[in-house]
Amino acid sequence: MITIRKITKQDNSTLATIIRSCLTEFGADKPGTVYYDESTDHLYELFNNPQSVYFVAELDRKIVGGAGLFPSDGLPQDTCELVKMYLLPAARQTGIGSALMNKCLEAAKQNGFNNIYLETLPELKRAISVYEKFNFTYLNGPLGNTGHHGCSVWMSREL
């Protein structure tokens, strides 16, 4: 059974482990990524902001990943960032990624955003293919000031 819910403080450690293990799995555990971002260990606190939200995905009551929205510094006022979308191998190709994405798109609209931006790494080819399926298009460079200078793929889409 798949459940998508909002993050709780008790989820912090599990989600940090999932995020870092996914980055390691794909050889993307590099400086300038969320792997080294201190906030990865404190997602509940990071997303405790009225314009942000983080959704946790559970498969049979076990946390298998998550995704969130954040009004990152320097982005246009009508744009939020899709952030920290990671899934354990057991959750991939199950529909959980699509469910998370749909939940994030819906939440972005409800929060008054007109665009969603994301940054990723070329190593995360599977994730990029999901973004393409959801009509994200490539940008020539980064938007805003996310602090993730290790990312070299930038995408966005209108809502």
Tens digit of pLDDT for each residue in 117-143? 999 989 888 899 999 999 999 999 999
Instruction: Please state the separation of Cα 47 from the chain's center in Å.
Output: 12
- Read off the pLDDT of each residue in 82-106 and give the average, rounded to a whole number: 94
What pLDDT is recorded for position 49?
87
- Among 76, 78, 68, smallest CA distance to 34 is for 68
More confident residue, 74 or 149: 74
Count of structural domains within the chain: 1
Instruction: Please state the separation of Cα 64 from the chain's center in Å.
Output: 13
- For 18-66, how does the pLDDT look when each residue is reduced to its tens digit (9 = 90+)? 999 999 999 888 888 888 888 999 999 999 988 999 999 999 999 999 9
Q: Which residue has the tokens 């991939």?
A: 92
CATH number at residue 90: 3.40.630.30
Q: Which two tokens mark 109?
A: 């609209």
Residue percentage of the chain with pLDDT more than 70: 99
**pLDDT interval class at 151 (50, 70, 90):** confident
Burial class (CB in 10 A: 0-12, 13-18, 19+), 56: buried
Residue 46, by phi and psi: left (phi above 0), alpha (psi -120 to 50) or beta? Answer: alpha
What's the whole-number average pLDDT of the chain? Answer: 93
Q: Rounded CA gap, 82 and 10, in Å? A: 22
Q: Rounded CA gap, 89 and 109, in Å? A: 29
Kindly list the distances between the CA atom of residue 91 and the CA atoms of 33, 70, 140, in Å, as whole numbers in the listed order. 22, 23, 31
Question: How many CB atoms lie under 10 A from the CB of residue 24?
Answer: 11
23-32, 95-104, 142-151: least confident range:
142-151
What pLDDT is recorded for position 119?
93
Domain limits for position 45:
2-158
